[in-house]
Structure 1
Amino acid sequence: MTVEDQWFDDEAGPVVRLFSMTRGRTRPTEEGLFDLISLITAVHRDGAGESDLDLEHRAILDLCRDEPLSVAELGSFTDMPVSLVRVLLGDLHDSGLISVTRPVPLAQLPDERLLRDVINGLRAL
């Protein structure tokens, strides 16, 4: 077996490095925007701006057209690592082709003790 045989499999095709899909980028342009549970929705633009997209970008857009999907779901459905999905989502976000709904930060959620007091107060009525 030669060295070339190790990097090419007739059944699977040639090996493509992930950084080639992102043109060498490892992070989206806006750091922290794409949490695992952030919901991604495709913005309906009648195909405007989509003609020059890569196959991976189009696959993500197609998945998000009917219903919002989380970043983790997109990674699973596309069979791509989440780090790669985040970079591709950054490209789509910069182009205005997706909208992102981020989860509520824990600091902004009501305190559990306060919720118990409200429930106890309602029960007392």
Structure 2
Amino acid sequence: MRPGGQPNMQQMLKQAQKMQRQMEQAQAELAAAEVTGSAGGGLVTATVTGSGELTALAIDPKVVDPDDVETLADLVLAAVRAASDQAKKLAEEKMAPVTGGLGGALGGLPGGLGL
């Protein structure tokens, strides 16, 4: 704080720019990362990027039964959900250091930043 209780705008701007660079770096790392989720004891495996894009789906032929397509659909859905949950956890871990830094000068802004 400067004399008179006014925040140093230049210092706040520098912190905001630093946070933006950190956010961009974390987003790039998430886009490059891959996580997997599986169902049915590994019979169905889904791979997604850290940003949530489904990139691969593997289905063991043993689980393919033309008379029971519903079970296969359930396993695919469960594997994709598991992979998406892993991607969400990874994103939270990568973003925590960036969004956790809002407690400083920027966190004191009226109304906050809503991040």
TM-score range (shorter-chain normalised) is under 0.3
The TM-score with structure 2 as length reference comes to 0.25
Q: Which has the higher helix share?
A: 2
Q: Which has the higher strand share?
A: 2
